[in-house]
């Protein structure tokens, strides 16, 4: 297991559509382990394979309380969404920045686990936002393209919260 370099805005790999995973092999399992290590090392909520330079449709998300299992999604696809939420969103590939993004308040996602067994995950609020954000990465889309009012420094947000 290793911590991989997180690609940042401007890197062309972040603008490309990821390829569907056909089978889970040892190489993919190592990638998933590395993605989890990288996610936790960066104190993130989610990480998509393109963010570590791999154009595969793989996502890891952990919005849970400590001790809960992270969500590992292979070939995720949003099959249902409803409601709306507007809030600040950041990204490990856009360090130190945030933007206001509108996302569904609820999403239902079909994906495959590491055994290529199909499953459904439903997310509300933060999990819904994370699912949409990470699936966008698989399609070559960064949140900055959806930001309602552009992007700004995370330090500006912290100052407003302190006042």
Report the CATH number of the 12-162 domain. Answer: 3.90.45.10
Residues recognised as catalytic: 134
High-pLDDT (> 70) share of the chain, %: 94
Is residue 162 pLDDT above 60, yes or no?
no
pLDDT for 18: 98
Return d(Cα 50, Cα 18) in angstroms, integer.
7
By C-alpha distance, which of 111, 108, 93 is closest to 21?
111
Mean pLDDT of 12-38: 98
Per-residue pLDDT tens digits for 65-80: 766 899 999 999 999 9
Alpha carbon separation from 1 to 62, 74, 107 (Å, rounded): 18, 19, 31
Mean pLDDT of 104-114: 98
Alpha carbon separation from 109 to 41, 73, 161 (Å, rounded): 26, 9, 33
pLDDT for 20: 98
Tokens 């995720």 sit at which residue? Answer: 76
Return d(Cα 109, Cα 57) in angstroms, integer.
13
Return d(Cα 14, Cα 117) in angstroms, integer.
27
Per-residue pLDDT tens digits for 28-65: 999 999 999 999 999 999 999 999 999 999 999 999 87
Q: Is 125 buried (19+), middle (13-18) or exposed (0-12) by CB count in 10 A?
A: middle
How confident is residue 161, by pLDDT bands cut at 50, 70 and 90? low
What is the reported pTM? 0.92
Per-residue pLDDT tens digits for 91-105: 999 999 999 999 999
Distance of CA 152 to the CA centre of its chain: 20
Return d(Cα 62, Cα 6) in angstroms, integer.
17
Mean pLDDT of 141-149: 95
């Amino acid at each position: 297991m290793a911590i991989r370099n997180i690609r940042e805005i401007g890197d062309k790999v972040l603008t490309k559509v990821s390829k569907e995973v056909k089978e889970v092999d040892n190489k993919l399992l190592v990638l998933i382990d590395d993605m989890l290590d990288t996610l936790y090392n960066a104190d993130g909520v989610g990480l998509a394979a393109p963010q570590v330079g791999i154009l595969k449709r793989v996502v890891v998300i952990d919005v849970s309380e400590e001790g809960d299992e992270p969500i590992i999604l292979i070939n995720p696809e949003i099959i249902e969404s409803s409601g709306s939420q507007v809030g600040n969103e950041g990204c490990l590939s856009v360090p130190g920045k945030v933007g206001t993004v509108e996302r569904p308040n609820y999403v239902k996602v079909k994906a495959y686990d590491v055994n290529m067994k199909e499953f459904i995950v439903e997310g509300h609020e933060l999990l819904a936002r994370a699912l949409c954000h990470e699936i966008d990465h698989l399609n070559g889309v960064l949140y900055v393209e959806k930001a309602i009012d552009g992007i700004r420094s995370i330090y500006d947000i912290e100052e407003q919260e302190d006042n």
